[in-house]
Structure 1
Amino acid sequence: MSEQNALQEEQERLTSSIQEMKEQLRDMPPRYTGSDFTEQMLDLQREEQKRRLQIALKEPYFGRIDFQELPEDAQAEADEGEAKALYIGKAGVARSRSNELLVIDWRAPAASMFYSFTGGDDPAAYESPDGEIQGYVHLKRNFMIRNEEIQRLVDSYVRGQEEGAVSDEFLLYRLGENKDNKLRDIVSTIQGEQDRIIRAERNKALFIQGVAGSGKTTVALHRLAFLLYQYEGRIRADRMMIFAPNRMFLDYISGVLPELGVGDIGQTTFPDWASELLQHAVALSDPSEVMSHWFEEKRSAEEWEHASGRFKGSLAFKAMIDERLRELQESILPQTDFALSNRCTLSASQLKEWYETDYGEEAIMEKRDRLVSRIRRWTESELKQRGVADKKVKAQWKARLKSFSSKIPSYTSVQLYASLFKGKSLLPGIGKGIAKQTAERLGKGLAAAEDLAPLAYIELKLQGLKTAPFDHIVIDEAQDYSPFQLEVLKACQRTPSMTILGDLQQGIHSYAGISSWGELMDLYPEEVTGFFELNRSYRSTMEIIEFANVILGGMTGGVKPAVPVFRSGDPVEAVGVADERWLEAIAGILTDWQGAGEFDTIAVIGRTAKECEAIHEALQESGFQASLVVSKQPEYGGGLTVVPAYLSKGLEFDAVLIADAGREAYGELDAKLLYVGCTRALHRLKLLYRGERTALLEKWNP
C-alpha cells in the first residue's frame, strides 16, 4: 500500500474514532447527586470514563501495531491467521455498543510490544495476566495527530519488507521540535530501555543512573502512571510522593501527570516535606546561603570533602543518633515505684511491663505519653475504689502524680537534636565548630538543610509517622541526597517501593551528596534493589553531547559517557571576548538568535547568582524581555531566561549561551557544574569566555 493510501485510510479511521468518542461524551448522563450508594459508584465510573474520553480526544492515539497471536497448542506460520490492528494511546477507549477496544491504553500488557519490538521476523511476546502471549508483528506505525488531523505517519516496521533506517525517524522528528516552558510526556516515543524501567515490578528500590537528557525524569513520572494502572486498587495516588530538587522544577514537570490522566500524586521537596513533618518547629535557613558559600566562592577539594553536610548526612552520624535514642529508651523510666501512699503503690516492674510490652512497637514519646495517661487513670481509679473524699488527700495524690510524671522526660525532636551539640551530651567526632554553629542556629529556631534529615529521623522515632505510609516514592536528582535522607524516607514505607534517579556526573552538591550509587543501594538488601543505566541522551545534538563529554574529561563512579542519538546540528562555539565588551557581546548573540526566530526558549547561564543579576540588569536596559531565575523561585516561565548553572539542573532550552567559560570562572573542581550548564541545550550551544578559556576545554578540538 502506498503511503498516500495508508494516510487516507488512517485519516478515515481517525475521523470515525473521534466521532465515536464525541458521541459517547454527548450521551453521558448528568452527574448523580442523590444518596444511593450504588448510583454514586456508577457515577464515579462514568466520570472516569469521561476523563479518559477527554484525554483521548486531544490525541486519540499515537501508535499502531498489527499483531498475529499464535495459538497455544501449535506453532503457526507467519502467514497463517489474521493480524489484528491495535491502536495505542494515552487512554483506553472501548466502543459503546460492542465493547470492542477502539484504543488500547499505553500501559496495557499488549501495548508493551509497541515499545519493546524493534524489528525482525522472530516471534514477539508480552506478559498478560494469563501468562506469556506469543505472536508475530506485521506492522509498527507511528502517528502525530493534532486538531483531529494526522500530521505525520511513519512506518518503523513492515513485515516482509527490507528494514531501512526508519526506526528512529519518528523519534528524531519529535526530538527536533522546539521546547516550551513545561516538561512533556514521552509516551509516544518511549524507548525499549526506558519501557523496562517503567514496567519494572513495584516492590523494589529501583536506582536509575541516567546521563543528561536520557529522559530519566519523564521515565519516573510514566512509571507512576503505570503502577497506578497495573496495581489498581492496591496502591493509591494520594499515597505516592515525588521529591524534586526545588519548587521551580515541580512547576516545570507539573503538566506530565495530568496529560497521562493521573492526579492526586504528591509533589514536594525534601526540605518542605521535612518541615511539614516537624510541624514547622524550626524555620529553614535560606538555602541560597549554602549555595552562595559553595558556588559564589572558590573552595578547595578538602573543604568540599569535609563539609558538615556530608558528616550530618552520613550513616555514622545516624548511628550516633540511634545510640542516643537507645540511651533515652533505657533511661526514660524512673527506677523507683510510684507511691501514692504506704498502701497504694505502683511498682517499677509494672511500669516497665506497660511501657515495653503493651506499647513496645510505638514511638518513644507516644509510649511515654500513653504511659503517663495510664498512670493518671490508675491514680483516678485508686481514688475512686478507696473512696478517698478528703480534698487534702486528693490534692496530695495529684501532686505526687505530677511530680512522678515529670521524672519521665518529654522531648521534642528539636530539643533532643540540640542536646547532641551541647556540653556532656556532645556526640563524639563532632567538631567544635560544627557543634557551635548548629547549636546557635537551633537556638534561633532555624535549621540548615543538612539538619533536616536528622531532625526528621528523630521526629519519626519520637512521635511516629502521623500519615499513611507511602505506597511509592520517586526521588529525582538523588545524587544530591545523603544516605541519611534516604534512611528517613525508608522509614515512611512498610515495604521498599521507590524509583531513585539521578546522574553522578551532575552531582554538583558534593558538600552533601554521594559519589557512588553504592552509598545508597547498600541501604537495601540486594534482593529488593534494581539498577538501570540510561546512557543514551535524547535531549541534545551529537555536537553538544560530544562537547559536554570532553568537559568531564572522564567519568567517575563507574558511569559510562553519554551516547547521543544520531541527530546532528550546529557546531558548538567558544568565543573569547574582552571584559569591556562582555555584556555587549551577550546582547548581540541574543539579538541574532531571537531575530532568526528559530528558538522558543533561550537561556543565558551564568557562573554565579551575582553574575546573573548583572547580566539580567544589562539585558533589561537593552530592551530584552528576560526572566531571572533565583533560589526559591516557584515557577519557570520559558522564553529568554538568565539562570545560574547550579539552578539550571533538570531544565531544557532550545539554545544556551554560557556567559563566561573563562579560566577564572570554571576551574578543575567545576567540571560538573559546567557540564550541567552545557547539557541544558537541545539544539544550539555557544560559550563566551573572558581572558583565557577554562582549562576544562584543553582537549576540545573544534
Structure 2
Amino acid sequence: MPTAEHEITEAEHEIIEAEQEITEAQTLAAERAHLAESRAALRRMREHTAALSADVAADWVSKQILESQLELRVAALADHPDAPLFFGRMDHDDSGSDLPATMYVGRRHIHDGDEGRPLVLDWRAPVSRAFYQAGPADPMGWRRRRRFGFNGGELTAFEDEPLDGRALGPSQILTEEIERPRTGPMRDIVATIQPEQDVIVRAGLAATVCVQGAPGTGKTAVGLHRAAYLLFTHRERLARSGVLIVGPNRAFLAYISAVLPALGEVQVDQATIDDLLGEPTATEPAAVAAVKGDARMADVLRKALWRHLRKPEEGLVVTRGASRFRLAEHEVREIAAALRGTMRYGNGRTSFAQRLAHQILVRMEERGEAPDDRVQDQVARSKPVKQLLDQVWPKVTAEQVLFRLLSDPAELRAAAGGVLTDEEQAAIGWAKPARSHRSAKWTAADRALLDELNDLIERTPSLGHLVVDEAQDLSEMQLRALGRRCGTGSATVLGDLAQGTTAWSARSWEDVLRHLGQEGEVTELTLGFRVPGSVLDFAARLLPHVAPELAVPRSLRPGAGALTVRRVPELGAGVAEAVKAALAREGSIGLIVPDDAVPGYVATLSEAGLAHDLLGPQAAADERVLIVPASLAKGLEYDHVIVAEPAAIVAAEERGLARLYVVLTRAVSTLTVLHRADLPAQLT
C-alpha cells in the first residue's frame, strides 16, 4: 500500500503533467495564431503586388519588362495551403544581441505590410543558417530550436531542442517528415536539411560543387535547393544570365518540377540533354556510341572542320571606279594562314574578308586616296571578295562537316589519323551513308558532335549556373557540351558512380569535372535518409561489382521488415498479389520491371482489375500504381517498390548490375523482390 507521502507525490506529478498539457496547448494556440497572421500578411503582400501597375514605365519596352517582373513576383507569392509557411523557430534570451529574440524560418520572407515587421524569414537568408547549423558545440548565439509538425496546412505539434548541450533523442517531427509517404511529385526538404547538406546548399556562386551521393542521401534535393539559394542571393545577376536544371529524362524532370516553385522560384528552366542538343533520330550500337562519346573526338572534329579551308589559288582584284587594286596570290595565302585556327571558324571567315578589304584600303592609300571604315566594309562585301571568300573559306554548317567526316573514309582517315585507331574509325564510319546531310539521321552521340562543331563555328552562349543531375551517365562529349553552357558560370554536379548505366558512364568525378571545364571539390554523401537500412544493405551487395571504390552507404532508418525477397512459381500472380498488399498501405507504389516485359505486366494488372498507369519517357504518370520500365527508374522514388525478376533486368544490358542497383534503391518504405529465376549471384 502506498504511503501518504507517495500519494502526494503522485498527485503532484499529475498536477505537473496537467500544467504541462495546458502550457503546450497555449503554446500551440499561440503558434497557430502566428501562422494565421503570417498567412494573412502573405495574402496582403500578393494583393499589393497584383495591384501595382506597369503604366509608370517611361516607354513600351520598360512597361513590358515591368509587367513580366510583376507577374513573376505575384506567382512567387502564391500561397500553397498544404505547404506550411514556416517549419522552425529559433529563440535566445540575450537582450544585448543584434539577433531577433524570436526568428521563424520558412519557405519565403513574409512581413507585416503596415509595420514592416518580419513574420517569417526566408530559409536562405544568412541569419537562417543557424536553424540548420546551430548545435550544442556551437549554438551560434541561440538558446533553443523549435520544429513544427503539420498535417496538410494545419499546425499540429511542436518540438523544442535546447542548444545548451543537454542530451536529447532523435527528433520525432524530423523523423516523421523524412518518412512521410510520398505521393505525386518530389517535395522540397527545407524543413529537414541536415548540416552537411546545408554546407553544400550555401556554397558560393563562384564555386562548382560536385556531389557523389548514395541512394536516398538527398543529392537531387540538395542541388535544387542550392539553385534556389543562389537565385535568392544573386537575384539580379542570375536573372540576366539564367539557371538551368539538366536531368536524365522528362519523367525525372516532371517528378522534380514542383520543388522550386514551392520555394518561390518560378523562373528556372529544366531540360534533358536531348532537349539541349536535339532529339536523336537514329540509334546505334553501344560500342559505336562509346567511341563517338570519347573526348578525343573533339580533336577529330576540329581537324575535320579546318580541312574545309582551301589553299588560295589566285589573287584578288577589286575595282573602285576607274581604279583596280590587286593583292597577289601569296598575300591572300599569308592572310588565310595567319588566321587559320586562331579563332572560331565563323569569326575567321568574317575576319578574312575584313583583312582582305583592309589590304585593299592600304593600296588605295598608297595611291593618295583617303578611304574610311565605310569603304572597308563596302570592299569586304564586294563581289570579288565574296567570291574569293567562298573559294578559300567556305561557309559550312555542323551537319555538313559531320556528314562529310562520317560518310567519306578518306576524310575520316585524314582527320582521325593518330587520334583514333583503324578499328575505331571503321566503327564510326557510315557503311551506307544518306544522300546528303539534309537527309541524314543523327544518334544521341552524333548530337553531341554537332554541338561541338557548332561551337567551333560560332560561340555557344553561357549561363550563370547549371545543375546537372545523374551526371555520371553523360559521355565526355556531352559533358563538354554542358561545360560550354557554364563556361563563364558555375555548376552543381550531382550523381552516383555506382548508378552509371550507359556505355560511357564515368568512372571518376575528377574526369567529369575536367570534361565540363570546371574545377571543384567532390563531396561524398553516404548517410541515407529515405531508403530503409535493410533495403540499402541488400542493394549494397552489388557495390563491390559496380563501384568498388565507393564507401558503403548507411541509412538513418533501420527499416526492420522493409525488405521481402520471395521466389514465386508464377510472376504474374505474384506481382498482382504484391500490388494488392501494397494498396492496403499508405503511399505510392512503383512496379519496376524489365523493359521488354512491360506489356505483359500491363496485361496482368488489367486482368486483375488493378488500376495503374505506365510511366513513359516523356512525363510522369498520375495513378497511385505505376508500372516503371527499369531504364526509367533512375532518380525516382516510391513508398512501396515491387521489383520483378532481377536476373532479367541484369541480362538486358551491359551494365545490368548497375541498373539493378538503381532499381533496388527506389523504395522509401518497403521493397518486395519477386523472382522465378535464380537471383543474380552477386545478390546471394
What TM bracket, shorter-length normalisation?
0.7 to 0.9
Aligned to 1:164: 168
Aligned to 1:536: 527
**Which string of whole-angstrom CA distances, capped at 9 and with x for unpartnered residues, describes residues 480-539 of structure 1?**
012222222222334340111100111011x1221221222334788x312111111122
Q: What is the SS of the residue equivalent to 2:130?
A: helix
Aligned to 2:7: none
Separation in 1, partners of 2:528, 2:195 = 14
Change (3 A) 1:178 1:94: same
Aligned to 1:586: 575
Separation in 1, partners of 2:107, 2:85 = 8
Separation in 2, partners of 1:469, 1:183 = 28
Separation in 1, partners of 2:678, 2:48 = 70
Aligned to 1:153: 158
Which sections of structure 1, spanning at least 5 residues, go unmatched? Answer: 73-80, 126-134, 276-282, 295-306, 387-396
- Of the candidates 96, 111, 116, which is equivalent to residue 99 of structure 1? 116
- Of the candidates 604, 614, 619, which is equivalent to residue 628 of structure 1? 614
**Which string of whole-angstrom CA distances, capped at 9 and with x for unpartnered residues, describes residues 444-489 of structure 1?**
4211111222210111111222xx4211111111000122222222
CA shift, 1:408, in A, is 2.6
Separation in 2, partners of 1:378, 1:664 = 67
Letter of the 1:691 partner, please give it.
Answer: A
Change (3 A) 1:638 1:434: farther
Q: Is the 8 A contact 1:661 1:690 kept in 2?
A: no
Which sections of structure 2, spanning at least 5 residues, go unmatched? Answer: 1-19, 371-381
Q: What is the SS of the residue equivalent to 1:440?
A: coil
Q: Are 1:365 and 2:346 matched, yes or no? A: yes
Aligned to 1:508: 501
Aligned to 2:6: none
CA shift, 1:230, in A, is 1.0
Separation in 1, partners of 2:302, 2:386 = 31
The TM-score with structure 2 as length reference comes to 0.82
Q: What is the SS of the residue equivalent to 1:209?
A: strand
Q: Are 1:285 and 2:281 matched, yes or no? A: yes
Change (3 A) 1:663 1:489: closer
Q: Is the 8 A contact 2:310 2:391 kept in 1?
A: no
Aligned to 1:302: none
Aligned counterparts, 1:601-620, within 5 A: 601-607=588-594, 609-620=595-606
- Of the candidates 25, 31, 34, which is equivalent to residue 4 of structure 1? 25
Q: What is the SS of the residue equivalent to 1:570?
A: coil
Aligned counterparts, 1:172-571, within 5 A: 172-236=175-239, 239-275=242-278, 284-285=280-281, 307-325=287-305, 331-332=309-310, 334=312, 336-340=314-318, 343-347=324-328, 363-369=344-350, 371-372=352-353, 398=383, 402=387, 405-421=390-406, 422-426=408-412, 427-428=416-417, 429=421, 431=423, 432-437=425-430, 440=433, 444-465=439-460, 468-509=461-502, 511-523=503-515, 528-553=519-544, 556=547, 558-571=549-562
Q: Are 1:54 and 2:59 matched, yes or no? A: no
Q: Is the 8 A contact 1:627 1:642 kept in 2?
A: yes
Separation in 2, partners of 1:648, 1:196 = 28
CA shift, 1:254, in A, is 0.9
Q: Percent of pairs identical after alignment?
A: 25
Q: Are 1:684 and 2:670 matched, yes or no? A: yes
CA shift, 1:109, in A, is 0.4
Q: Is the 8 A contact 2:353 2:385 kept in 1?
A: no
Q: What is the SS of the residue equivalent to 2:51?
A: coil
Change (3 A) 1:584 1:650: same
**Which string of whole-angstrom CA distances, capped at 9 and with x for unpartnered residues, describes residues 574-629 of structure 1?**
21122xx22122112212222x2x1332111112x221111112222322222223
CA shift, 1:374, in A, is 8.2
CA shift, 1:42, in A, is 8.7
Change (3 A) 1:37 1:143: farther
Letter of the 2:292 partner, please give it.
Answer: K
**Which string of whole-angstrom CA distances, capped at 9 and with x for unpartnered residues, describes residues 179-230 of structure 1?**
1120111111111111111111112332110011111111111111111111
CA shift, 1:370, in A, is 6.0
CA shift, 1:84, in A, is 1.2
Q: Is the 8 A contact 2:39 2:85 kept in 1?
A: yes
Separation in 1, partners of 2:77, 2:611 = 39
Q: What is the SS of the residue equivalent to 1:141?
A: strand
Q: Is the 8 A contact 1:570 1:683 kept in 2?
A: no
Q: What is the SS of the residue equivalent to 1:493?
A: coil
Separation in 1, partners of 2:163, 2:26 = 18
Separation in 2, partners of 1:98, 1:343 = 79
Change (3 A) 1:17 1:36: same
Aligned to 1:140: 145
Q: Is the 8 A contact 1:228 1:237 kept in 2?
A: no
Letter of the 1:143 partner, please give it.
Answer: F
**Which string of whole-angstrom CA distances, capped at 9 and with x for unpartnered residues, describes residues 615-658 of structure 1?**
1122223222222234x333332411112212110111111111
Separation in 2, partners of 1:230, 1:565 = 31
Q: What is the SS of the residue equivalent to 1:140?
A: strand
Q: Is the 8 A contact 1:205 1:524 kept in 2?
A: no
Q: Are 1:84 and 2:105 matched, yes or no? A: no
Separation in 1, partners of 2:314, 2:224 = 56
Q: Is the 8 A contact 1:338 1:404 kept in 2?
A: no
**Which deviates the most, 217-226 or 39-48?**
39-48
Aligned to 1:392: none
Separation in 2, partners of 1:463, 1:513 = 29
The TM-score with structure 1 as length reference comes to 0.81
Aligned to 2:38: 17
CA shift, 1:264, in A, is 2.1
Change (3 A) 1:70 1:659: same
CA shift, 1:12, in A, is 2.8
Letter of the 2:85 partner, please give it.
Answer: P
Q: Is the 8 A contact 1:252 1:636 kept in 2?
A: no
CA shift, 1:660, in A, is 0.9
Q: Is the 8 A contact 2:589 2:639 kept in 1?
A: yes
Q: Is the 8 A contact 2:592 2:627 kept in 1?
A: yes
Separation in 2, partners of 1:147, 1:692 = 44
Q: Is the 8 A contact 1:271 1:449 kept in 2?
A: yes
Q: Is the 8 A contact 1:181 1:637 kept in 2?
A: yes
**Which string of whole-angstrom CA distances, capped at 9 and with x for unpartnered residues, describes residues 73-131 of structure 1?**
xxxxxxxx9971110111111222332221111100011111112x31x4444xxxxxx
Separation in 2, partners of 1:317, 1:309 = 11
Change (3 A) 1:612 1:217: same
Letter of the 1:493 partner, please give it.
Answer: C
Q: Is the 8 A contact 1:18 1:148 kept in 2?
A: no
Separation in 2, partners of 1:398, 1:333 = 20
Letter of the 2:33 partner, please give it.
Answer: E
Separation in 1, partners of 2:127, 2:511 = 37
CA shift, 1:415, in A, is 1.6
Letter of the 1:487 partner, please give it.
Answer: R
- Of the candidates 640, 655, 658, which is equivalent to residue 655 of structure 1? 640
Q: Is the 8 A contact 2:562 2:669 kept in 1?
A: no
Letter of the 1:646 partner, please give it.
Answer: S
**Matched positions, count:** 630
Letter of the 1:345 partner, please give it.
Answer: R
Separation in 2, partners of 1:50, 1:435 = 52
**Which deviates the most, 141-150 or 211-220?**
141-150
CA shift, 1:144, in A, is 3.1
